[in-house]
A and B are shown apart, each in its own frame.
Chain A
Amino acid sequence: GAGVSQSPSNKVTEKGKDVELRCDPISGHTALYWYRQSLGQGLEFLIYFQGNSAPDKSGLPSDRFSAERTGGSVSTLTIQRTQQEDSAVYLCASSRASLNYGYTFGSGTRLTVV
């Protein structure tokens, strides 16, 4: 597609439930990133995928968070047993695997845990 697509755009879930957030990167972009942004806060790096290499999971805040990328394209971020502090906008970005290239971000998924 023309841009990075994320779904759903909004998700309200009850505390303790699992959620899955989806990201469709730009075709041909081998690098994919997940960030989150809590209300009024900066962007927090979560995880990075590059081609077939092992993902960089150094930003995942707890073992309740996991992500996968199938076929080097679509990625799913899963949050198990959601907590209220997980409420945030989850942003996905993709890019070519080069420092001399910018990211393209999706519009994000706004997650609210009630």
Chain B
Amino acid sequence: DAKTTQPNSMESNEEEPVHLPCNHSTISGTDYIHWYRQLPSQGPEYVIHGLTSNVNNRMASLAIAEDRKSSTLILHRATLRDAAVYYCILRDVDSGYALNFGKGTSLLVTP
């Protein structure tokens, strides 16, 4: 399986933008880049995904490097509710559709 590397933790101030990095240097051409987050005491929640082009939705933006070896999840204005563990996951046919959750990045948002 292609692996991802994320920082263990990050901290942000409320109402500031947050850029969560993910390295995936062994990504293959058919791997989709998925992001999920898990708020305390809740199940994971889908955030965004992409293949090659940058993506935007109501929750966040996903910036994908031109060589696809890294990506960045962008929260435009962090709120206290965004404090969660963020997972960057590669999804491909070889993984049998199952998502392999690593340790993710724990985001702390301070007022």
Contact = CB atoms under 8 A, between A and B. Distances in A.
* Chains A and B belong together in one complex: yes
A12 interface: no
Contacts, number: 53
A56 B98 contact: yes
Interface string B8-50: 0000000000000000000000101010100000111110010
A108 B92 contact: no
Interface stretch (A13-21, A71-79, A95-103): A95-103
Contacts of B98: 33, 45, 48, 56, 59
Interface string A48-83: 101000001001000000000000000000000000
The majority secondary structure among interface residues of chain A is: strand
B101 to A, nearest CB: 4
A35 B30 CA distance: 24
A43 interface: yes
Interface in B41-100: 42-46, 49, 51, 91-93, 96-100
A103 B36 contact: yes
Contact of A91 (B34, B43, B97): B43
The majority secondary structure among interface residues of chain B is: loop
Contact of B51 (A33, A48, A95, A100): A100
A108 B43 contact: yes
A38 interface: no
A107 B46 contact: no
Contact of A31 (B45, B97, B101): B97
A97 B36 CA distance: 18
B49 to A, nearest CB: 6
Given A100-B49, A100-B51, A103-B36, A43 B97 contact: no
The 4 closest A-B CB pairs, nearest first, are A102-B46, A105-B43, A43-B101, A99-B32
